Amino acid sequence: MEIPACVAFQRLPLLPNKTQTKDPKHWNSIIKHHTKLKNDTGILTTYTHMESLGICPDNSTLPLVLKACARLNAVESGKKIHSHIQNTKLIEDVRVRTALVDFYCKCGFFEEALHVFGEMSERDVVLWNAMISGYVGRGHHEEAIGLFMKMGRENLRPSSGTMVALLLACGELLELRMGKEVHGYCLRNGLFEADPRVITALIGFYLRFDVRVSRLVFDMMDSRSIVSWNAMIRGYFDVGDCSEALKLFMQMLVDGVTFDSVTMLVAIQVCAEFGSLKLGMQIHQMAIKLEFNNDLFVANALLRMYSENGSLEFSRELFESITTRDIAMWNSMISVYIGFGCYEEALSLFIRIRTECIREDEITIAIMLSVCEQLADGLRMGKAYMPM
DNA sequence: GTAGGGTTAG
């Protein structure tokens, strides 16, 4: 028995040599290193280590630690950091405060976020943006717009980040007028040139009302980011215009635009809807070539695409070939079996979930209850398997 | 010049 190399290396902590252990600079650089590798657990472990040695991160690494806490939903760790720096100079740093506001919002603690936000006397645009987009991120769109209004009263000029958050809120609330005003403001202040994300947000905003307007914005863009391509293709897909979505995808290929896993995902979904098995298989080939097939979102979409195009066999083959399946993948395969009327297979897959000790979710339960309806002794089985 | 916030997704 041997630990696989990849695991061993991932787990290997970057141990400083004895002379460096108390040097904060060294520890801060380790955190930055983990940040580059997007290793959130590494960041948190390093921080815990520092804490035990009585070393405090500086104002440039503390935000990184808080960000990791938010992504890992490590609420207690984040709160502990907050209380640790409560009476230090760090809490007066606007960057640290912004990171705290962001952390609290992302974890859903708005009272705490508002508290940290409100205490600060000299608030700049980024701090406001963190609070505003914090609201937007959790669906509190009215509050976001209200805060934006307040911001105007403090004579702060909104930045492109403010506009992105605002466009998202306006889209969700179907505030066409206000969104158009934002559009105008961005034009007058050159915010489109300043940041491509503003245009992408604008495309997303108009998608709520009329794809054709989004397309006009898209066509006028000087340089289209991959995200804007994806948004536009998805926009056509969402209104059911699969052929236009495919056309745009083809144009991407012809123009030689480098696409990503989101593009693959949407293209596969379009194929599933459009009923094009041949094209779907070609995209599958492309995904394998470009190594997007290991992406769980892409694999899941492929699995569904095959089943929707009538090929249970291809779905099953794909499912069994995947080594790292997540619960969504299991759920999809069970649904596929149900769709083909293979209730026994669906049930045996569910039993595999149980025996392989995979954590099922509420979707698994909902799907399985529908299987129980179909089986002769379903009621008994449903009661036996379901958590009470 | 840089940091703290913001766009697409099963």
Residue A263 lies in a domain: no
Domain boundary among A192, A223, A254: A223
**Global confidence as pTM:** 0.85
Domain boundary among A223, A249, A283: A223
pLDDT at A204 (0 to 100): 96
Distance of C1' in B1 from CA in A263, Å: 34
pLDDT at A329 (0 to 100): 95
Using the CA of A59, give the nucleotide whose C1' is nearest.
B3
All residue ranges of chain A with pLDDT < 50 are 2-12
Residue A349 lies in a domain: yes
A320-375 per-position pLDDT tens digit? 999 889 999 999 999 999 999 999 899 999 999 998 888 889 999 999 888 777 77
Using the CA of A234, give the nucleotide whose C1' is nearest.
B8
d(Cα A164, Cα A137) in Å, to the nearest integer? 12
Domain boundary among A189, A223, A257: A223
d(Cα A255, Cα A274) in Å, to the nearest integer? 23
Using the CA of A262, give the nucleotide whose C1' is nearest.
B9
Of A20, A14, A67, A12, which Cα lies nearest the Cα of A44? Answer: A67
pLDDT at A203 (0 to 100): 96
Residue A184 lies in a domain: yes
Using the CA of A203, give the nucleotide whose C1' is nearest.
B7
d(Cα A54, Cα A86) in Å, to the nearest integer? 16
Overall number of domains in chain A: 2
Distance of C1' in B10 from CA in A51, Å: 38
Residue type (1 letter), A246: L
CA distances from A24 to A78, A197, A333 (A): 20, 36, 50
Distance of C1' in B8 from CA in A205, Å: 12
pLDDT at A27 (0 to 100): 85
Q: Which positions on chain B have an atom < 7 Å from some protein CB?
A: 3-10
Residue type (1 letter), A386: M
Residue A99 lies in a domain: no
Distance of C1' in B3 from CA in A289, Å: 38
Residue A273 lies in a domain: no
Domain that holds residue A135: 123-223
pLDDT at A130 (0 to 100): 96
Residue A194 lies in a domain: yes
Residue A267 lies in a domain: no
